Amino acid sequence: MRLSGAEITIQCLQEEGVEYVFGYPGGAVLYIYDALFNQDKVKHILVRHEQAAVHAADGYARANGRPGVALVTSGPGVTNAVTGIATAYMDSIPLVIISGQVPVPAIGLDAFQEVDTVGITRPCVKHNFLVKNVADLASTIKKAFYLAASGRPGPVLVDIPKDVSQQIAEFEYPKTLSLRSYNPVTKGHSGQIRKAVQMLMEARRPMIYVGGGAVLGEASDALTHMVRQLGYPCTNTLMGLGAYPGTDPQFLGMLGMHGTYEANLAMQHSDVLLAVGARFDDRVIGNPQHFFTEERRIIHIDIDPSSISKRVRVDVPIVGNISDVLEEMQKLIDASTVQADPVALKAWWTQIGEWRARDCLRYDRANQTVIKPQSVVEKLYEVTRGEAIVTSDVGQHQMWAAQYYKFDKPRRWINSGGLGTMGFGLPAAMGAQLAYPEATVACVTGEASIQMCIQELSTCKQYHLPVKIINLNNRYLGMVRQWQQILHGNRYSESYMDALPDFVKLAESYGHVGMRIDRPADVEPALREAFALKDRVVFMDFQTDQTENVFPMVKAGQGLTEMLLGAEDL
């Protein structure tokens, strides 16, 4: 079959089973848009800004595990997309980004809307390609999908010059591909796995620490089964929420900078730590020198060898596919004749019980005059029966959503953990809604973050994406204000949000339902009313306590156990 490069591109997407492409047209991709026009298998979602195209593709990928696809034009289309690409890269999300480029003969001549796309995106993609020959196009797109989704996933970009999209070539979608330089490991080393199980069985103060890798590796079931059988305590990182069920009694809550008292202390005082698809990030373990102790041995399972012993030396590294490795471990555990010392384990749980009794997530629940942001998340959890897909932006609201919404399943909590990108929440919610049209999708955001991609309310209207926006409006860049209060002597430099729009009217002007909620008593009824409007976007503007802070808090650079637990610690 002889096709143009543009037609080949769309054919490849069809072959890969792509449902949606999130994009924005421009000169360099006009042939590709023309090819889109002539078919109806791949649906195009016209966003209002390329950053949102990538975030939406990302939200789609996080919700259902399949690579998200974005299509942008050259020059500003690409530079607008970079924030989205970097966001996906930091959280290892599989994406294929197709970008237009100026025609091959014009490359390097500072042509109109030319940027060095491969150069600009190189540090924030898993890999990228510039396709200079139409004959290479199909195999390159095939490679892009394979690279994006295999091993440690990540965004892959394919840059297609305009003349290449116009040229004709024989099309056949390659059935196989060979990449001699890329062979991600799957099976873990059996000797190491045996060592790990033995170590786990000898533990007296075991702890299991689970990151986003367990979500990406579809390891939640295997993990939950194993942890329950062992009876050990478990914590999830911000990226791992839902990998181990949030309502399980063995779950100690999220750990890290805003983790629970019990999770952070159990991390620090454990004698055997099993890390599953986590990377000992600075927001998770704080200061590595403080974290280090001779008394703790660490087992680390990860698909990416470079994540192991990067910030913390580990004793038993296991490189492999997490679910495969856990399965191997499970077999050995089932066959094991030794068991963890029940007396030691009981004493450990007693200790954890004492830490738990501090009730570190308590707040002024009885307050009837001002809405406490935490209470909105708690009510959201009740009203959606814990079954919503929740996306968030970045700031205090993100932490409250992570702390107070108990995720029992993976892929229901969608946030920008690594890059911390404000503006992520709403477009990510659109992607998640498209992935699961019947699901309840809520975006927990702040009045500052939402304004970074608010134009997407228009996209929601066009494609009938009934996401619910929970705006925790504290009239501040809350997280910035919190740091300024705690670390910069209450000097609130540029962290207020003045001249805010009337969000109700704004939502209405986009054709949506807007609600403003000022009183604690109205929180729950408003949420019930909003979620009953199944096919509408509802923008809920909650006027929340301006001075509320996120606790517990470990100041940047400090040790995990050096937690501020409340206003009394300031």
Ligand X SMILES: Cc1ncc(C[n+]2csc(CCOP(=O)(O)OP(=O)(O)O)c2C)c(N)n1
Enzyme catalytic residues: 50, 112-113, 162, 479
Say if residues 10 and 1 touch (Cβ distance below 8 Å): no
Nearer to other proteins, 146 or 355 (CB): 146
Among positions 479-538, residues that touch ligand X (CB under 6 A) are 479-480
Question: Which stretch in 86-94, 114-122, 232-240, 445-453 sits in contact with ligand X by CB under 6 A?
Answer: 445-453
Cα–Cα dist 167/230, whole Å: 60
91: enclosing H helix or E strand: none
| Ramachandran bin of 479, using left for φ above 0, alpha for ψ from -120 to 50, beta for the remaining angles | alpha
> Which pairs from 335-339 meet CB under 8 Å and 24+ separation?
336/197, 336/201, 338/198, 338/201, 338/202, 339/201
DSSP 3-state of 357: coil
Contacted entry of ligand X, other proteins, none for residue 188, CB cut-off 5 to 8 Å set by kind:
none
Rounded least distance, CB 317 to other proteins, Å = 11
Sorted by sequence, the CB contacts under 8 Å of residue 503 that are 6+ apart come out as 447, 471, 473, 514, 516, 539, 541
* 163 φ, ψ (degrees, to nearest 5): -70, -30
Contacted entry of ligand X, other proteins, none for residue 310, CB cut-off 5 to 8 Å set by kind:
other proteins
**Site for other proteins contains 127 (CB under 8 A):** yes
Question: Which stretch in 91-99, 298-306, 416-424, 526-534 sits in contact with ligand X by CB under 6 A?
Answer: 416-424
Among positions 298-327, residues that touch other proteins (CB under 8 A) are 304-306, 309-310, 313
Nearer to other proteins, 231 or 288 (CB): 288
Tokens of 141: 């797109």
Taking CB under 6 A as the criterion, the residue among 449, 459, 484, 549 binding ligand X is 449
CA 569 to chain centre: 31
Closest CA to 404 of 446, 440, 362: 362
**Site for ligand X contains 469 (CB under 6 A):** no
Per DSSP, what are the bridge partners of residue 21?
A: 44
**Site for other proteins contains 135 (CB under 8 A):** no
Question: Which stretch in 46-54, 158-166, 186-194, 388-396 sits in contact with ligand X by CB under 6 A?
Answer: 388-396
**Site for ligand X contains 82 (CB under 6 A):** no
Say if residues 354 and 365 touch (Cβ distance below 8 Å): no
To 10 degrees, what angle do helices 5-15 and 30-37 make?
50
DSSP state of 443: E
Handedness of CA 346, 279, 146, 178 (dihedral sign): negative
Contacted entry of other proteins, ligand X, none for residue 118, CB cut-off 5 to 8 Å set by kind:
other proteins
Nearer to ligand X, 396 or 403 (CB): 396
**Site for ligand X contains 397 (CB under 6 A):** yes
Rounded least distance, CB 474 to ligand X, Å = 5
Contacted entry of ligand X, other proteins, none for residue 448, CB cut-off 5 to 8 Å set by kind:
ligand X
Q: Which residues bind other proteins (CB under 8 A)?
A: 118-119, 122-123, 126-127, 130, 147, 179-182, 304-306, 309-310, 313
Q: Which residues bind ligand X (CB under 6 A)?
A: 393-397, 420-422, 446-449, 472, 474, 476-480
